[in-house]
């Protein structure tokens, strides 16, 4: 029998919900492009409920315990005395979310003598040392596409929020003010702006499609160029690199995975090459942007705004400079953990577990590492020789 160690974020501060704002979710059975949504043999949860916190357990307990397996769920993941570290040595499977990642470093993987499978309940497996996983023959899988549209919606919201100066205006209203001049002194229209994405995979392309109706000029850079028909449909301008693209853009959104080619990409030099007063949105991984370079650019006016929901480390300490830098729209890492997305990534996690426990192949699009090498989606999105797992 297998031991499954699941690391999830804490329950709400006022307790696990007893009711919800909505009674149901729209039915979605496939993603853009045709990939089907998760197809487990069954589910033991109510779609639309909070599944990603400790008490939600991703809806897995009944399924696993009925099969005789052991499920351990914790939010305690930091330090050698954490519940995660205590339970890890004899765990067969580790499940984690990007929003509250259990960092599977090379040292931890070496100590996990039984570890065979690491599942990301969501998208983005850079919290796993992929080189170590390859060396120790650990399969790494994630629920590809499950929250891509969720993140894309969050990106568009953040772009509009920054450009229209929404958050400061909202604060004025809730504080009892009516300071219209203060609200509009940094407010612009998105219409007519040049908007570019670093990476145009599932999330980046979804962002471009959602921005097209705003009558903006769209740009992208990606190591895999999109088909000509897609470029023509959306009026896209392709650039061979981020360095070539960003000087043309009023808004840049980062939608790339973290790997050696993207780590530290937005440093003082690259940000300095952007238009003065450009906006930068990063819902990908924090380490793609140099923390202090972003802070400096906002304070100097080189950037007019920065928004994102990814931090290094995660959770971010109270004194993290991104909490207090000006003209920012930061959120905790929530873009891909809406209740809608949770229903999909919980179902996808179960689908992966069903396949693995039954000795059946895991969907190729879910695979990041398998059989001692990059596999499936991992072959397209990642490169090996990673440095430190991202936080």
**Is 388 labeled as ligand-binding?**
no
Mean pLDDT of the chain: 96
pLDDT at 386 over 60: no
Residue 9, both tokens:
């974020």
Query: How many other CB atoms are there within 10 angstroms of residue 102's CB atom?
Result: 26
pLDDT, residue 76, reads: 97
Q: How confident is the model at residue 388 (pLDDT cuts 50, 70, 90)?
A: very low
Q: Is 236 exposed, middle or buried (0-12, 13-18, 19+ CB in 10 A)?
A: buried
Residue 387: pLDDT band (50, 70, 90) is very low
- The DSSP-derived string for 251-307 is EEEE----STTTTT-B-HHHHHTSPTTEEEEE-S-GGGB-HHHHHHHHHHTSEEEEE
Q: Please check if 134 is assigned to a binding site.
A: no
Predicted confidence band at 381 (pLDDT cuts at 50, 70, 90)? confident
**Percent of the chain scoring above 70 in pLDDT:** 98
CA 339 to chain centre: 15
Query: Is the confidence at residue 378, as pLDDT, over 60?
Result: yes
53 is in an annotated binding site: no
- Asked if the model's pLDDT at residue 345 lies above 50, the reply is yes
Confirm or deny that 218 is annotated as ligand binding.
no
User: Nearest 5°: CA angle at 328, between 327 and 333?
Assistant: 175
The model's pLDDT over 244-253, given as tens digits with 9 standing for 90+, comes to: 999 999 999 9
Minimal CA–CA distance to 142: which of 387, 312, 344?
Answer: 344
Helix/strand/coil (H/E/C) assignment for every residue in 17-30: CCCCCCCCCCCCCE
Question: Is residue 265 a contact partner of residue 273, using CB atoms and an 8 Å limit?
Answer: no
Tokens for 1, please give them: 């029998």
Q: Which helix (H) or strand (E) holds 243?
A: helix 242-245
Q: Mean pLDDT throughout 27-46? A: 95
Average pLDDT, integer, range 49-59: 98
Question: How far, rounded to the nearest angstrom, does the alpha carbon of residue 375 sit from its chain's CA centroid?
Answer: 20
Tell me, what's the pLDDT at 372?
Answer: 95
Query: What residues contact 31, with CB distance under 8 A and at least 6 apart?
Result: 37, 145, 148, 149, 202
Give the pLDDT score at 369. Answer: 97
Is 61 one of the annotated binding-site residues?
Answer: no
Cβ atoms of 90 and 4 within 8 Å: the answer is no
> With 80 as the cut, is the pLDDT of residue 389 above it?
no
Residues with catalytic annotation?
147, 285, 314, 333
Question: In this structure, are residues 321 and 311 in contact, taking their beta carbons and an 8 Å threshold?
Answer: no
Helix (H), strand (E) at residue 198:
strand 194-198
Mean pLDDT along residues 197-217: 97
Report residue 391's pLDDT band, with 50, 70 and 90 as the boundaries: very low
How much is the pLDDT for 314? 86
State mean pLDDT over 334-345: 98
Q: Among candidates 256, 153, 250, which has minimal Cα distance to 211?
A: 153
Selection from 65, 236, 282, 36 nearest residue 144 by Cα = 36
Q: Residue 362 annotated as binding? A: no
Domain 3-146+338-375 has CATH 3.40.50.720: yes
- Of the candidates 339, 344, 348, 341, the residue with the CA atom closest to the CA atom of residue 49: 339
Task: Answer yes or no: is pLDDT of 390 > 50.
Answer: no
Written as one string, the DSSP assignment of 64-116 is HHHTT-EEEEES--SSTTSHHHHHGGG-SEEEE-TTS---B-HHHHHH-TT--
pLDDT for 385 equals 63
- Residues 347-359 have pLDDT tens digits of 999 999 999 999 9
99-108 residue pLDDT tens? 999 999 999 9
pLDDT at 8: 98
| Alpha carbons 45 and 60: distance in angstroms, whole number | 8
Per-residue pLDDT tens over the stretch 150-194? 999 999 999 999 999 999 999 999 999 999 999 999 999 999 999
pLDDT at 313: 87
- pTM for this prediction: 0.93
Query: Does 283 appear as a known binding residue?
Result: yes
CB atoms closer than 10 angstroms to residue 324? 11
- CA-nearest of 67, 62, 128 to 95 is 128
334 annotated ligand-binding residue: yes
CA–CA distance, 357 with 70 (Å, rounded to integer): 13
- Judge whether 231 is annotated as a binding position: no
Alpha carbon separation from 351 to 274, 347, 370 (Å, rounded): 43, 6, 17
Q: CATH 3.40.50.720 in the chain: give the residue spans.
A: 3-146+338-375, 148-323
Task: Report the top-level CATH class of 148-323.
Answer: alpha beta
CA angle 9/16/352 to nearest 5° reads 50
- Residue 250, marked binder: no
Main-chain dihedrals φ then ψ at residue 236, nearest 5 degrees: -85, 145
Residue 336, annotated ligand binder? yes
């Amino acid at each position: 029998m297998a031991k499954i160690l699941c690391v999830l974020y804490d329950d709400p501060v006022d307790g696990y919900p007893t009711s919800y704002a909505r009674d149901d979710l729209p039915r979605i059975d496939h993603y853009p492009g045709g990939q089907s949504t998760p197809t487990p043999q069954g589910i033991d949860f109510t779609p639309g409920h909070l599944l990603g916190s400790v008490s939600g357990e991703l809806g897995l307990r009944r399924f696993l315990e009925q099969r005789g397996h052991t499920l351990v769920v914790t939010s305690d993941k930091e330090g050698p005395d954490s519940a995660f570290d205590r339970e890890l040595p004899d765990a067969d499977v580790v499940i984690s979310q990007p929003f509250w990642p259990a960092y599977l470093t090379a040292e931890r993987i070496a100590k996990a003598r039984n570890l065979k499978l690491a599942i990301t309940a969501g998208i983005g497996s850079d919290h796993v040392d992929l080189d170590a996983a390859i060396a120790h023959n650990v399969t790494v899988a994630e629920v590809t596409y499950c929250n891509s549209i969720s993140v894309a919606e969050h990106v568009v919201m953040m772009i509009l929020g920054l450009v229209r100066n929404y958050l400061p205006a909202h604060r004025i209203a809730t504080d009892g003010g009516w300071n219209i001049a203060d609200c509009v002194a940094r407010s612009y229209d998105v219409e007519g702006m040049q908007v570019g994405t670093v990476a145009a995979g599932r999330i980046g392309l979804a962002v471009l499609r959602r921005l097209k109706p705003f009558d903006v000029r769209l740009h992208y850079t990606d190591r895999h160029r999109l088909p000509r028909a897609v470029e023509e449909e959306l009026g896209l301008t392709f650039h061979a690199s981020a360095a070539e693209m960003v000087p043309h853009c009023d808004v840049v959104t980062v939608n790339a995975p973290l790997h050696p080619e993207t780590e530290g990409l937005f440093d003082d030099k690259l940000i300095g090459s952007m238009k003065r007063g450009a906006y930068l949105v990063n819902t990908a991984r924090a380490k793609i942007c140099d923390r202090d370079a972003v802070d400096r650019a906002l304070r100097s006016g080189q950037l007019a705004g920065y928004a994102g929901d990814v931090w290094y480390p995660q959770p971010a300490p109270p004194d993290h400079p991104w909490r207090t830098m000006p003209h920012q729209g930061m959120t905790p890492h929530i873009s891909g953990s809406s209740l809608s997305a949770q229903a999909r990534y919980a179902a996808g996690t179960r689908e992966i577990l069903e396949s693995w426990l039954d000795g059946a192949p895991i969907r190729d699009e879910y695979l990041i590492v398998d059989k001692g090498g990059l596999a499936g989606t991992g072959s397209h999105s990642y490169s090996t020789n990673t440095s430190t797992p991202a936080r």
